[in-house]
Amino acid sequence: MKRIVLIASVLVLVSAPAADAAPKCMKPYSWVAGTTSLCHGAVVYGDFVGDDYGADTGESWPESQRIGSLSPGAGDTDYPEGQEATADLIRLTLRIRGERLRIRGLVHALYEPDSTVLAVAIDTDGDKDTGGGEWGELGVTSAGWDEIAYFDRGNTKTNVIRGSMPLPEGRRWRIQAAVANAESGNVMNVAFRPKDYPGWSQDSGSAASDSSTGSFFDDQQAEALAAGDISQFGYSVRVRKLRRGRTRVAKLKPGLHERVYTSDYTVEPGEGMSYEGVPGRGGENNDPQLGFEQKFNFLGRYQPYGIYVPKQDGTHGMQMVFHGSSSNLSALISQPGMQEVLGEGMNRILVTPEARGTEGWGSDISERDVLDVMSDVQRTYGVDRGHVFAGGYSQGGYVTYRMASLHPDRFAGAIDWVGFTGDGSNGSPGGGFSYTAGAIGNGIDFIKNLLNVPTVMLYAGADELVHVWTGEAMDDAFAATDNLYRFYMHPAAEHLTLAATDDWRKEAEYTKDLELVRDPPRVVFTTAPFLDAPQYGIRHDRAYWVSRIRTSGEATDYGTVDLTSAGCGGELPVLESVSGTGSDPVPWTLDEQRAASMKPLVAAPKLTGTLTGITSLRVGTRQTCLRGKAVQYDIETDGPVTLQLSDGRTAELAKGRSRGRIAR
C-alpha cells in the first residue's frame, strides 16, 4: 500500500551543525556531481550545480540561454521572478534515527522559507510494478514507490529543507527525490543519476554524447521531465548498511564530469545565480557597445567546474582549458578530439573552471576560483605538479596569459587559442580599437614573466572577435623578449575555426616534453598592485625565488624584477628564430623562438640584473644556493631599493648601478 506523508506542519527548522562537528566523510568540500556515497550510515548525494533548468518544453532555443549564448541548458523551464536557483539541489542526505528517516536537502538558494518543495519517494519492495504513480501536484510520475513525503518549508539562513518521515519498511530501498518550485509546481531538479548518464559513466567513463545539448549535464533530466516520468532516477541501498553505519565513498572514475567544490568566498547576495551577472571591475572603461565586461553569475559557495580524467592508470599531468566568453565548464573538454589528443595522448587531466560565470576574465573572485579549482584537482587526483599547463580559448586565452604570467612557477607551459590580448588597441591600425572587454591588465605588459614557461599561440587571420592585429602584436611582443615560444597564424581561419576542427595536435606536440622549471637562474617578473585582489587572498608579489615585491609607483604602475643568481650554476639558452608553414588542420604560418644551445652559468655567489619601479624585495637563499655565503651583487635600479635575503641579511641599493658585497 502506498503511503503519502505530509511533513510541512511538523517540520522543525534547525540550524546546520558546525562544519567541525561533522565526520570527515560528511564534509564534501568537493565531489563529483551526480554521485552518491554512504557516510556513517547516511546516504549522501552530491548534485550538479546549475542543472536546475527543469523540463525541455520545446520552447525556442534562446529560452535555455540563461547565462550565455554558448552555455544553453537542455531544459528551458523558468522560475518565477526573483526565485532563481531556489530549486537547484546541491546535496541530499538521508539518515535513520530511531523509527524515523531524517532527510536534509541543501539547495543553491532559498530566499523565502516556502518557495521550494522537496519530495522523497521510496520503493520498499523492489517491485516496480507495485505502487508508484503521480507525485501529488508536482506533475511527474515514477514507477514502484510505496511511500512518498513532501517537505515545503526551509531555513533561509542555511538554504536547508529539513524534516523526517516514518521509517519505511523493507530490507532494501530505492530512493528517489525531486525539487520543485512551490509557486509553479514545476520540478526543476531531480536527484540521483543513472549509471549511463550522458557526460559521465560509472562503468566506462565515456564522454558526453554527440547529441548532448545541456551545458550543465541536464540532458536526461530535461527529457524525462518533459515526458513527466522520472522512474530512471534513483539510488538503491540495503537498509542494514544504514543501520550499521557503513561508509562507502564514491570512487573516482575516468571520463568527463562536473566537479563541485566549496568556496570560502561569495558574491553579494552570497547565494544562488544571477543570470544577468553581477558586474566586476574588469571593463569599467570599456565601450558598453562592445560588451564582454566582467560579470559573475555563480554567486554562492558551491562552485562547479568541468574535468576530464584520462583512462590511464597512475599519475596524470593537468591541462587547464579556460573557457571563452558566453561559454562554460563543459565547453572544449567535452570534444572527443581534445580528450583524445590532450587528455589521453598527453595523459593530462583536462580542467575547465567555471570561474564564476561566462565573463569572469580570470581576475578577482574569478581568479580565486581558478586557483581553488587547481588546488582541488591536485589534492584529489594526485596530479604530477611538474606537468601542469595553462591553456584557454578566446577570453580563456587572455586568462592563460594572465594566470601563467602572474603565477609562472605553477606551469610547465602554456597554450593560447585565439586569445584576447588584453586591449583591442594592441597593434590596432591608427589606434582606433581601444577596448579592454573584461580584462584587468593588458597581457602584453607582463608576458616577460613567461621567460621559463614556453608558450604556443594559435591565431586566426579572419577572426571577427580577436582581430588579427592583436595576435600579430602579441607575436611581436614575444619576439622582443627572451621567451621560448611558437606562434601560429592561420590566415583563412575565423574565431571558432580551431574549436570546430577539434584538432589539437600542433600544440600538444609543442608541449609534450615540457616540465616545470623550478628555481631557474634567471627570474623576470612584472607586477602592479591593481592586478591584486587582497579581499580574496591574492597578491602577485612573488615568483620562484623572488618574493615580497613592492612597487614604487601608483597602483596602476608596473614594477619589474629581472635578476640572475649564479649561486647554483645552471644554464641559460642561446636563442634563435625560425619560421615555417603548414596546413593542419587549416593552412598556417609559423614564427618561433627556441633554444639553439645552452650556455653554462658558472656557479658563484653572485646576483645581477635590473630593478625597475621596485622599492623592496626578498631573495630566497636556499633556492639560489646563496645561504651562508658572501654575496656579490651588481644591480641597476631606477630608485632606492631594499634588497633582503631570506636569511635576514639586507643591502640598500641606491638609484643607478649598485655594486657591492653582502657579508655572510
Q: Could you tell me the CATH number of the domain that includes residue 429?
A: 3.40.50.1820
pLDDT at 57: 85
Whether 491 maps to a domain, the answer reads yes
- Average the pLDDT over 251-264 and give the result: 95
Residue 51 has pLDDT above 90, yes or no: yes
**Averaged pLDDT, 97-111:** 97
- The DSSP string of 482-523 is S--EEEEEETT--TTHHHHHT--HHHHHHHTT-----S-SEE
Same-domain status, 523 and 510: no
Residue 199 has pLDDT above 70, yes or no: no
DSSP E strands, 59-123: 89-97, 100-107, 116-123
Domain of 130, in residue numbers:
3-251
Mean of the per-residue pLDDT values of the chain: 92
Domain boundary among 219, 251, 283: 251
| The last residue of a domain, from among 235, 251, 267 | 251
Q: What average pLDDT score do residues 341-358 get?
A: 98
What is the C-alpha separation between 410 and 369, in angstroms, rounded?
16
CA 604 to CA 567: how far, in whole Å? Answer: 5
Lowest mean pLDDT among 215-219, 226-230, 277-281, 296-300: 215-219
Residue 144, pLDDT above cutoff 50:
yes
Across 615-639, average pLDDT = 98
Let me know whether 230 and 81 are in one domain: yes
- Greater pLDDT, 27 or 348: 348
- Could you write out the DSSP letters of every residue in 517-557? --S-SEEEEEE-GGG-BGGGTB----BTTEEEEEESS-TT-
- How far apart CA 150 and CA 120 sit, in angstroms, is 7
Nearest residue to 148 via CA among 171, 127, 124, 170? 124
pLDDT of residue 197: 52
pLDDT in tens, 489-505: 999 999 999 999 999 99
Do 242 and 323 belong together in one domain? no
Q: Does 572 map to a domain?
A: no
Q: Side-chain half-sphere of 542: how many Cα atoms within 13 Å?
A: 12
Side chain identity at residue 101, one-letter code = L
Tell me, yes or no, whether 203 and 307 share the same domain: no
- Do 477 and 532 belong to one domain? no
pLDDT at 181 over 60: yes
**Four-CA torsion 67, 70, 74, 80, nearest 10 degrees:** 20
DSSP state of 300: S
- pLDDT for the residue 290: 75
Residue 16 pLDDT greater than 50, yes or no: no
pLDDT band per the 50, 70, 90 thresholds, residue 12: very low
Query: What pLDDT is stored for residue 483 in this prediction?
Result: 98
589 grid coordinates? 604560418
CATH label of the domain that carries residue 89: 2.60.40.10
For residue 20, what pLDDT band results from cuts at 50, 70 and 90? Answer: very low
Reported as a single tens digit per residue, the pLDDT across 242-256 is 999 999 999 999 999
Residue 203 sits in the same domain as residue 290: no
DSSP helix/strand/coil, 659:
strand
> 404-440: per-residue pLDDT in tens?
999 999 999 999 999 999 999 999 887 667 789 999 9
The arithmetic mean of pLDDT across residues 531-549, rounded, is: 98
pLDDT bucket at 195, cuts 50 / 70 / 90: low
Q: Which three cell numbers stand for residue 245?
A: 553505519
Question: What's the pLDDT at 516?
Answer: 98
For the chain, the helix, strand and coil percentages under 3-state DSSP, each to the nearest 5:
20, 35, 50
CA angle, 106 then 235 then 221, to 5°: 70
- As a whole number, mean pLDDT of residues 573-599 equals 97
Exposed e or buried b per residue across 120-139, where buried means at least 16 C-beta atoms within 10 angstroms of its C-beta:
bbbbbbeeeeebbeebeebe
**pLDDT band (50, 70, 90) for residue 73:** confident
Tally of CB atoms within 10 A around 364: 24
Q: Which residue has the cell 579592454?
A: 436
Report residue 604: phi and psi, to 5°. Answer: -165, 150
Judged against a pLDDT cut of 60, whether residue 17 lies above it is answered with no
Looking at the domain assignment, is residue 161 inside a domain? yes
Residue 266 confidence class, pLDDT cut points 50, 70, 90: very high
Residues 150 and 222 in one domain: yes
Say if residues 146 and 168 touch (Cβ distance below 8 Å).
yes
Q: Looking at the structure, tell me whether residues 232 and 300 fall in a common domain.
A: no
Q: Quote the percentage of the chain above a pLDDT of 70.
A: 92
Identify whether residues 243 and 310 lie together within a single domain: no
Give pLDDT, residue 590: 98
Please check whether residues 220 and 160 belong to one and the same domain: yes
> Cα(174)–Cα(147) distance, rounded to whole angstroms?
11
Tell me the Ramachandran region of residue 398: left when phi exceeds 0, alpha when psi lies from -120 to 50, beta otherwise. alpha
Question: Global pTM?
Answer: 0.94
DSSP per residue over 427-482, as a string?
Answer: T-GGG-----TT-SS-GGGGGGGGGGS-EEEEEETT-SSS-HHHHHHHHHHHHTSS
Instruction: Identify the CA nearest to 371 among candidates 358, 349, 388.
Output: 388
Q: Specify if 348 maps to a domain.
A: yes
The whole-number pLDDT of residue 211 equals 36
Residue 190 lies in a domain: yes
Q: Are residues 218 and 346 in the same domain?
A: no
Inform me whether the pLDDT recorded for 63 exceeds 90: no
Q: How confident is the model at residue 14 (pLDDT cuts 50, 70, 90)?
A: very low
Which of 197, 221, 251 corresponds to the end of one domain? 251
Average pLDDT over residues 491-520: 98
Number of domains in the chain: 3
61 pLDDT above the threshold of 60: no
Residue 202 pLDDT class (50, 70, 90 cuts) = very low
Residue 349's pLDDT is 98
pLDDT value at residue 431: 65
Residue 600 belongs to a domain: no
Is the per-residue pLDDT at 13 higher than 60?
no
- Looking at per-residue pLDDT, the higher value among 16 and 2 belongs to 2
Mean pLDDT of 374-396: 97
pLDDT tens-place string over residues 279-313 = 999 988 777 767 799 999 999 999 999 999 999 99
The torsion defined by the Cα of 645, 450, 410 and 389, in degrees rounded to 10, comes to -170
pLDDT of residue 4: 65
Q: Is residue 570 one of the residues assigned to a domain?
A: no
Mean pLDDT across the stretch 140-159?
97
pLDDT at 234: 97
Reading the block at residue 419, the C-alpha cell is 586569445
- Assess whether 240 and 312 both reside in one domain: no
Averaged pLDDT for residues 215-231: 94
pLDDT > 70? residue 42? yes
Would 300 be classed as within a structural domain?
Answer: yes
Q: How confident is the model at residue 64 (pLDDT cuts 50, 70, 90)?
A: low
Mean pLDDT of 353-376: 97
